[in-house]
A and B are shown apart, each in its own frame.
Chain A
Amino acid sequence: MSEPTTATTATTAPALLRLENLQVRYGSPKAAAVDDVCMEVWPRELVAVVGESGSGKTTLIRSTLGLLPSGGRVTGGRIFLGGSDVTRWRDKQLARIRGPFVGFIPQDPGTALNPVKRIGQQVVEAILLNDRRIKGPVARSMALEKLETAGLRDVDRIFGRYAHELSGGMKQRALIAIALASNPKLLIADEPTSSLDVTIQKTILDHLDRLRADFNLGVVLVTHDLGVAAERSDRMIVMQRGRVVETGPTNDVVAAPEHRYTRELISAAPSSHSSRLVSRVQPDGHGPRQSVQPGPASRTDLLVVDSVSKHFRVSRGPSGSFAAVSAASFTIPEGTTHAIVGESGAGKSTIVRLAVGLTPADDGSVWFDGSETTKLTHELRREFRRHVQFVYQNPFSSLDPKFTVRRLLAEPLHVHRAVASREVLRERVHELLAAVALDDSFADRLPVELSGGQAQRVAIARALALNPRLLVLDEAVSALDVSVQAQVLQLLVDLQAQHGLTYLFVTHDLGVVRMIADTVSVMRSGKFVEQGPVERVFSAPQDPYTRMLIDAIPGRAMRVAGPAENRISASIGAEQ
């Protein structure tokens, strides 16, 4: 068996990666995690593997590197790297091609670097592991060069840093430098940007594109984000439950998806061209505020936040505090959705906590339904709390794991003595479950027995139990897969129409904003840089930061109808 590197010749070069009917299982009785998957990657080609959680996409690419977690093993098919069949290779053999032939960019840059080693050391090791003849000082200068290649500046300083001293984007670039350390021919990236902010995601993906061109690299990009795949890849493989449901040139797949699942994914994916979801139901009169009519003219402002500020002390001394939120104002007319959008660290959570009184503001005032919330009597304050309900990002941490769904939904009713008898309670739980499109069989389940989407529905039902007027949705759909996300968003829109609810929607995802919000505030470093109706902000952004955010949304390619046009936009993306 020859080394794949030597097997590569100029004339009849084999594919960098070829999978033949690959099958991977965890344990014997369970269904295959990956089944009957074929794919090929050629030099200078970017192949995207797209799928939701549980689709087997991560298992698939890990098996190509021999990096399956314990218990997982290849049970069928063959893996070729550079023409060599590596399916049965042992760890020691694989170790020799990991690095020089194939480089790997892991998922979460936050944990993928060794926390107690300096960054430079980790790059140097990546070089020395594959070529022991290199001397220390030479390895150091090579490592500095790799860090520069990965798009880092000031590499001398970064060389001596630890992972915790770098930002997420810098860490991901350091990981790219490690992957490039031994000049691989194939780069495998597992969700390389999914934990990063959109603007950083864009620069990292742009950089990968450039590297691909400069070094003739073949790239496998695993992503859950159809937009990223559509914009960046030459070919695309769509996976569902371990199987490939659709494969082909990206332009063709996006323009004319053949499989139902692909079509669903494309329509569910939020992007800059998504439009506001329309409710499928009519107001039924059971809502708490029946007086609310559609149409902005008749609406009164339910929540008014008037130039609130909040400073946090981080250390002693006069300069030791920073403004988490400074002089922020916004208004939400009753029955509408206001979105607060921004990248991590923008102060989104703080402004929400200020708005609903969970954190006292240093300055400014908050008005709910015409009265100032800080000046409420004890009784009215309780009433205010009842009218404002929360839905958190992760339902599994916001639902008590020891409570059944029935008890979870009954709790707010008990607390407010809102039910007279067992029968009334049973009826109300049924109503609430029905409202979020779950049937009564869910009532006796524990949160662990629910899927993510189901659990989030229960969390929404609980929030609805007290007939609130304002729902605060704090990244409430961010943890969900796109198809589930689309369902939950539709549910929220329906509930809004039905009950005249007002939403304060916090998110980092501009695409989602398009789908649910009427008005939007764009936040950066504790300040609102732009506010206005969603349509206006998206079509004519005033602030450069807003424009940058909108430009960074992946998946603009999906909007383009014709494949020819599409190709152009994709290649522009590659050259930037």
Chain B
Amino acid sequence: MSRYLLAKVARAVFVVWAAYTLSFILLYLLPVNAIDLLFDPTDLATTTAAAKRQIAAYYGFNKPAIVQYFERLGDAFRGDLGLSVQSGKPVWYAIGSVIEPTLVLAVCALVVAVCIAFGIAFLASRTRFRWLANLLQSIPPATVSVPVFLIGLVLIQVFSFNLGWFPPTGDSGLVSLVLPVVTLAIPVSGPIAQLLTDSFLRELEAPYVMTAVAKGATRSWVLSREVFRNASLPALTIAGVIFGNLLAGSVIVETIYSRPGMGRLTELSVGTKDIPVIQGIVVVSAILFALGNLAVDLIYPLLDPRLKARIASQ
């Protein structure tokens, strides 16, 4: 068991390190002239070569790539991801000040999405009517096909402009959270609902279900007591995809609703080419992903005795 734990932790650390390294290569080495990216394109023509050199020295660009890498990695290891080019403040500060609203948004959206997904899966496998099951099963592929921004715009159009129930933009308490959460939850629920529906229907055909029916179980008993756990377990395996959808969705959702958050920060930083911040965001999301995956890896064996046995035998 402890070997399993150790291997999983090592994997998490490796993922974060590799994300750092890849983003370093991508953002610091790949651009032909990384220094130019630090300037506003309109200012670039008027900036003197001396000023550029000065800036390069300040950010450490004049050193060889490998030296830069290890210096920055060392700093990052101590928790220093550099300074934001735009604001001059530490990257940690820039990210730290906006991470909370994004986490609130993401967690709420995840909860709503999981509820939607289970609702669809349950109804689709519970109903006697084939047309209803078919209709329900066609919802998940539809939700992943609609661009997040379109969902957002339609919701604003209907619920803010036409009905006036919720504010279209801003961050003023719970009311302003409703539309962003729903906007984000819809596309996130798609893959989960798809997977759950498929696996509910597949598990219903499993021989152990017949055993249960033969011993006198009714359909709803079978669904809730026999199938539920077996069918839900695979959903944990797409935790990574869900996480990616949440983060990617938050970029667009926060832009549409003009909410502060990591997504909005990403968008602004790409717009201003704030490389240290972008790298910081990449690393932070890799950390979040690694932690999430670690949690899944630790929970899974508790839910599935077969996996537990396999780990124990290793």
CB contacts under 8 Å to B, within A342-361, are none
Q: Which of A67, A108, A165 meets B213, CB within 8 Å?
A: A67
Complexed CA–CA distance, A96 and B208 (Å): 19
Complexed CA–CA distance, A162 and B310 (Å): 13
Q: Which of B215, B309, B313 meets A179, CB within 8 Å?
A: B215
With known contacts A69-B205, A104-B211, A116–B216 Cβ distance under 8 A: no
Q: Please indicate the chain A residues that have their CB under 8 angstroms from the CB of B304 in the complex.
A: 115-116
Stretch from B9-17, B84-92, B217-225, B251-259 at the A interface = B217-225
Looking at chain B's contact residues, the main secondary structure is: helix
Complexed CA–CA distance, A98 and B303 (Å): 30
**Closest chain A residue to B229, Cβ basis:** A116
With known contacts A114-B226, A116-B304, A315-B313, A95–B218 Cβ distance under 8 A: yes
Q: Which of B211, B221, B230, B313 meets A116, CB within 8 Å?
A: B230
Q: Which of B214, B221, B225, B313 meets A104, CB within 8 Å?
A: B214
With known contacts A92-B218, A104-B214, A165-B309, A125–B225 Cβ distance under 8 A: yes
Whether the Cβ atoms of A129 and B210 lie closer than 8 Å is no
Query: In the complex, how many angstroms separate the beta carbon of B102 from the nearest chain A beta carbon?
Result: 35
Whether the Cβ atoms of B215 and A162 lie closer than 8 Å is no
Query: In the complex, how many angstroms separate the beta carbon of A176 from the nearest chain B beta carbon?
Result: 11
**Closest chain A residue to B304, Cβ basis:** A116
Complexed CA–CA distance, A117 and B205 (Å): 18
Whether the Cβ atoms of B208 and A107 lie closer than 8 Å is no
Complexed CA–CA distance, A162 and B219 (Å): 23
Q: Which of B214, B219, B229, B306 meets A67, CB within 8 Å?
A: B214
Complexed CA–CA distance, A517 and B221 (Å): 52
Query: In the complex, how many angstroms separate the beta carbon of A109 from the nearest chain B beta carbon?
Result: 9
Query: In the complex, how many angstroms separate the beta carbon of B229 from the nearest chain A beta carbon?
Result: 5
Whether the Cβ atoms of B314 and A91 lie closer than 8 Å is no
Query: In the complex, how many angstroms separate the beta carbon of B136 from the nearest chain A beta carbon?
Result: 16
Interface string of A350-382 (1 = CB under 8 A from B): 000000000000000000000000000000000
Whether the Cβ atoms of A126 and B210 lie closer than 8 Å is no
Complexed CA–CA distance, A515 and B306 (Å): 41
With known contacts A115-B208, A164-B305, A106–B214 Cβ distance under 8 A: yes
With known contacts A69-B205, A125-B225, A315-B313, A115–B215 Cβ distance under 8 A: no
Query: In the complex, how many angstroms separate the beta carbon of A192 from the nearest chain B beta carbon?
Result: 12
Whether the Cβ atoms of A112 and B211 lie closer than 8 Å is yes
With known contacts A115-B306, A129-B221, A164-B306, A67–B215 Cβ distance under 8 A: no
CB contacts under 8 Å to B, within A145-181, are 162, 164-165, 175, 178-179, 181
**Closest chain B residue to A110, Cβ basis:** B207
Query: In the complex, how many angstroms separate the beta carbon of B207 from the nearest chain A beta carbon?
Result: 4
Complexed CA–CA distance, A179 and B206 (Å): 17
With known contacts A114-B230, A125-B225, A162–B207 Cβ distance under 8 A: no
A100: interface (CB < 8 Å) = yes
**Closest chain A residue to B211, Cβ basis:** A112
**Closest chain A residue to B225, Cβ basis:** A125
B76: interface (CB < 8 Å) = no
Whether the Cβ atoms of A114 and B208 lie closer than 8 Å is yes
A103: interface (CB < 8 Å) = yes
Whether the Cβ atoms of B207 and A112 lie closer than 8 Å is yes
Whether the Cβ atoms of A98 and B213 lie closer than 8 Å is yes
Query: In the complex, how many angstroms separate the beta carbon of B159 from the nearest chain A beta carbon?
Result: 40
With known contacts A95-B218, A112-B207, A179-B214, A162–B225 Cβ distance under 8 A: no
Query: In the complex, how many angstroms separate the beta carbon of B235 from the nearest chain A beta carbon?
Result: 14
A130: interface (CB < 8 Å) = yes
Whether the Cβ atoms of B214 and A108 lie closer than 8 Å is no
With known contacts A114-B226, A129-B221, A162–B306 Cβ distance under 8 A: yes
B282: interface (CB < 8 Å) = no
Whether the Cβ atoms of A98 and B216 lie closer than 8 Å is yes
Whether the Cβ atoms of A116 and B305 lie closer than 8 Å is yes
Whether the Cβ atoms of B309 and A164 lie closer than 8 Å is yes
Query: In the complex, how many angstroms separate the beta carbon of A68 from the nearest chain B beta carbon?
Result: 11
Complexed CA–CA distance, A91 and B213 (Å): 10
CB contacts under 8 Å to A, within B290-314, are 303-306, 309, 313-314
Whether the Cβ atoms of B214 and A98 lie closer than 8 Å is yes
With known contacts A115-B230, A115-B305, A116-B304, A65–B211 Cβ distance under 8 A: no
Whether the Cβ atoms of B309 and A182 lie closer than 8 Å is no
Query: In the complex, how many angstroms separate the beta carbon of A525 from the nearest chain B beta carbon?
Result: 20
Q: Please indicate the chain B residues that have their CB under 8 angstroms from the CB of A111 in the complex.
A: 206-208
Complexed CA–CA distance, A181 and B211 (Å): 12
Centre residue among B208, B218, B303, B314 by max chain A CB count within 10 A: B208
B103: interface (CB < 8 Å) = no
| B contact residues, total (Cβ < 8 Å) | 27
Whether the Cβ atoms of A99 and B215 lie closer than 8 Å is yes
Q: Please indicate the chain A residues that have their CB under 8 angstroms from the CB of B217 in the complex.
A: 95, 125, 129
A113: interface (CB < 8 Å) = yes
Complexed CA–CA distance, A488 and B164 (Å): 77
Whether the Cβ atoms of A67 and B305 lie closer than 8 Å is no
**Closest chain A residue to B218, Cβ basis:** A95
With known contacts A98-B215, A103-B214, A315–B306 Cβ distance under 8 A: no
Q: Please indicate the chain A residues that have their CB under 8 angstroms from the CB of B219 in the complex.
A: 91
Complexed CA–CA distance, A129 and B219 (Å): 13
Complexed CA–CA distance, A525 and B205 (Å): 36
B212: interface (CB < 8 Å) = yes
Complexed CA–CA distance, A111 and B211 (Å): 10
Complexed CA–CA distance, A53 and B216 (Å): 28
Query: In the complex, how many angstroms separate the beta carbon of B133 from the nearest chain A beta carbon?
Result: 10
Query: In the complex, how many angstroms separate the beta carbon of A34 from the nearest chain B beta carbon?
Result: 18
Complexed CA–CA distance, A103 and B215 (Å): 7
**Closest chain A residue to B204, Cβ basis:** A70
Q: Please indicate the chain B residues that have their CB under 8 angstroms from the CB of A116 in the complex.
A: 229-230, 233, 303-306
**Closest chain B residue to A181, Cβ basis:** B215
Q: Please indicate the chain A residues that have their CB under 8 angstroms from the CB of B205 in the complex.
A: 69
Interface string of B33-61 (1 = CB under 8 A from A): 00000000000000000000000000000
Whether the Cβ atoms of B215 and A129 lie closer than 8 Å is yes
CB contacts under 8 Å to B, within A24-83, are 65, 67, 69
Centre residue among B206, B210, B226 by max chain A CB count within 10 A: B210
Complexed CA–CA distance, A297 and B75 (Å): 84
Centre residue among B212, B214, B221, B304 by max chain A CB count within 10 A: B214
CB contacts under 8 Å to A, within B174-214, are 205-208, 210-214
With known contacts A115-B306, A116-B305, A315-B314, A106–B210 Cβ distance under 8 A: yes
Query: In the complex, how many angstroms separate the beta carbon of A438 from the nearest chain B beta carbon?
Result: 35
Complexed CA–CA distance, A179 and B212 (Å): 10
Q: Which of A107, A117, A126, A164 meets B215, CB within 8 Å?
A: A126
Whether the Cβ atoms of B207 and A96 lie closer than 8 Å is no
Q: Please indicate the chain B residues that have their CB under 8 angstroms from the CB of A179 in the complex.
A: 214-215
Query: In the complex, how many angstroms separate the beta carbon of B3 from the nearest chain A beta carbon?
Result: 10
Whether the Cβ atoms of B309 and A112 lie closer than 8 Å is no
**Closest chain A residue to B226, Cβ basis:** A114
Q: Which of A112, A122, A165 meets B210, CB within 8 Å?
A: A112
Query: In the complex, how many angstroms separate the beta carbon of A188 from the nearest chain B beta carbon?
Result: 8
Whether the Cβ atoms of A113 and B225 lie closer than 8 Å is no
Q: Please indicate the chain A residues that have their CB under 8 angstroms from the CB of B306 in the complex.
A: 115-116, 162, 164
Q: Please indicate the chain B residues that have their CB under 8 angstroms from the CB of A114 in the complex.
A: 208, 211-212, 226, 230
What is A's interface to B at a CB cutoff of 8 Å?
Answer: 65, 67, 69, 91-92, 95-96, 98-100, 103-104, 106-108, 111-117, 122, 125-126, 129-130, 162, 164-165, 175, 178-179, 181-182, 315
7 intermolecular pairs with C-beta atoms under 8 Å apart: A67-B210, A91-B219, A99-B214, A106-B210, A111-B207, A116-B304, A162-B309
> What 4 A-B pairs are tightest by C-beta distance, nearest first?
A104-B214, A99-B216, A126-B215, A129-B216
What is B's interface to A at a CB cutoff of 8 Å?
Answer: 205-208, 210-219, 221, 225-226, 229-230, 233, 303-306, 309, 313-314
Known: A65-B214, A117-B226; 13 extra A-B contacts, CB below 8 A, are A98-B216, A112-B208, A114-B208, A114-B211, A114-B226, A115-B230, A116-B229, A126-B215, A130-B216, A165-B309, A175-B211, A182-B216, A315-B313
